Structure 1
Amino acid sequence: MSNSSAAAILTTAHLSEAVRAVRTLLGIADIGQGEVDFEAVIRSPDVLTRVRRVLPHLEWQASAGKESGSSEGGHNPADHLPIRVFDWERPLDRAEPFIAALGPDSAAVRWDLDAWPEVPEEGLEAISQKYAYLTLTVNSRDLYQDEPSLDHTVHVHARNRNGDQIARVHWLARQVGGRFTGRVETAPL
């Protein structure tokens, strides 16, 4: 397992603005074989019902731990709220319905891309699948839902904090009207 650095490039109180930024970045990236991963904390039965319509085979565990209830154990998630969702390798078209289902609950939605393209005029080479990721945190400032918030943050991932990677972060931020805030989190891949 390796890590990337997830750089915050846009924080907004408007979920629609964050989703627009994600769409713009997906339009730049190579997404031919892309997939999406979900991590969330679901607290209410209503949100759970909406999320299960999007992800009927939801993978989850009770916030108190797997031994207190999990999809692996065949338990009913409604009996174990709040739950933590860890659902991986889903089709890209599941992302926006999942985001819409969240209501006030927090999540991180990560798009695993095929590549970020080269940008010759900026001196940027293409970035392979191994480091081409994009994450939207919903109702949370961080990737792990430890900082609940009323706003949403778009993060782009870089291999490390060297100059070439930071230049790409700045370039991607400009494409969505954002800016690199200097806030970076380590993200296991």
Structure 2
Amino acid sequence: MSNSAAAAVLTTEDLAEAIRAVRTLLDIADFSQGEVDFEAVIRSSDVLAQVRHVLPDLEWWASAGKEHGSSEADDDPADCLPIRVFDWSRPLDRAEPFIAALGPDLAAVRWDLDAWPAVPEAGLEAISQKYAYLTLTMNSRDLYQEEPSQDHTVHVHVRDRNGEQTARVHWLADQVGGRFTGRMQLARL
């Protein structure tokens, strides 16, 4: 297991704007072998039903702890609300339906990319899969749903090597009309 630094490059109340920014960054990234991971706190049966339509074999456990219910124990998640979702390695096409299913609940979607490409005109070398991630947090400003908010934040993950981190974060922020404010968070990967 490794860690990366996730930099907030765009925060907006408009979820459609955040999704457009994610799509722009995905167009820049190499993600032919990519996958997507989901984390969420689901509080209502309506949202749960919508999420289970997207991810029928959802991996979850009760927010009160696994001893109060989990997918491992084959419990009914509707009887255990609120639940925490930690579902990994899904196909890329599940991301936007998952986002649409969430409503007001807190969540993070992380795209595991193959690489951030080289940008010679900006002096940036390619960054390998180990540090190439993109996360969209919904209704939360942080990666782990601990800071509820009314907005959504796009985070880019990069490595720090000779100041490249800051340069790449600024370059990626510019591509989506955002700006790097210096807000970084350690991401457990």
TM-score (norm 1): 0.99
Q: Who is 2:64 aligned against?
A: 64
- Output the aligned Cα RMSD: 0.8
Distance in 1, matches of 2:101 and 2:149, equals 17
Tell me, yes or no, if the aligned pair for 2:21 and 2:176 is still in contact at 8 Å.
yes
TM-superposed CA distance for 1:159, in Å, is 1.8
Q: Who is 1:100 aligned against?
A: 100
Tell me, yes or no, if the aligned pair for 1:9 and 1:169 is still in contact at 8 Å.
yes
TM-superposed CA distance for 1:158, in Å, is 1.5
Q: Who is 1:184 aligned against?
A: 184
1:124 pairs with 2:128: no
Structure 1: 5+ residue stretches without partners: none
Q: Deviations over 1:142-183 (max 9, x none)?
A: 000001111000000022375111100000000000000111
1:141 pairs with 2:141: yes
Q: Who is 2:80 aligned against?
A: 80
TM-superposed CA distance for 1:75, in Å, is 0.1
Q: Who is 2:153 aligned against?
A: 153
Q: Which amino acid aligns with 2:47?
A: V
Distance in 1, matches of 2:162 and 2:11, equals 23
Tell me, yes or no, if the aligned pair for 1:15 and 1:152 is still in contact at 8 Å.
yes
Identity %: 80
Secondary structure of the equivalent of 2:88?
Answer: strand
Alignment of 1:5-20 (within 5 A): 5-20=5-20
Q: Which has a greater percent of strand?
A: 2
Q: Which amino acid aligns with 1:110?
A: R
Distance in 2, matches of 1:123 and 1:89, equals 32
Number of aligned pairs? Answer: 189
Tell me, yes or no, if the aligned pair for 1:41 and 1:106 is still in contact at 8 Å.
yes
Q: Who is 1:49 aligned against?
A: 49
Q: Who is 2:163 aligned against?
A: 163
Tell me, yes or no, if the aligned pair for 1:5 and 1:161 is still in contact at 8 Å.
no
Q: Which amino acid aligns with 1:160?
A: D
Tell me, yes or no, if the aligned pair for 2:108 and 2:145 is still in contact at 8 Å.
yes
TM-score (norm 2): 0.99
Q: Which amino acid aligns with 1:20?
A: R
Tell me, yes or no, if the aligned pair for 1:3 and 1:159 is still in contact at 8 Å.
no
Distance in 1, matches of 2:155 and 2:127, equals 16
Secondary structure of the equivalent of 1:151?
Answer: strand
Distance in 2, matches of 1:38 and 1:162, equals 31
Distance in 1, matches of 2:107 and 2:161, equals 25
Structure 2: 5+ residue stretches without partners: none
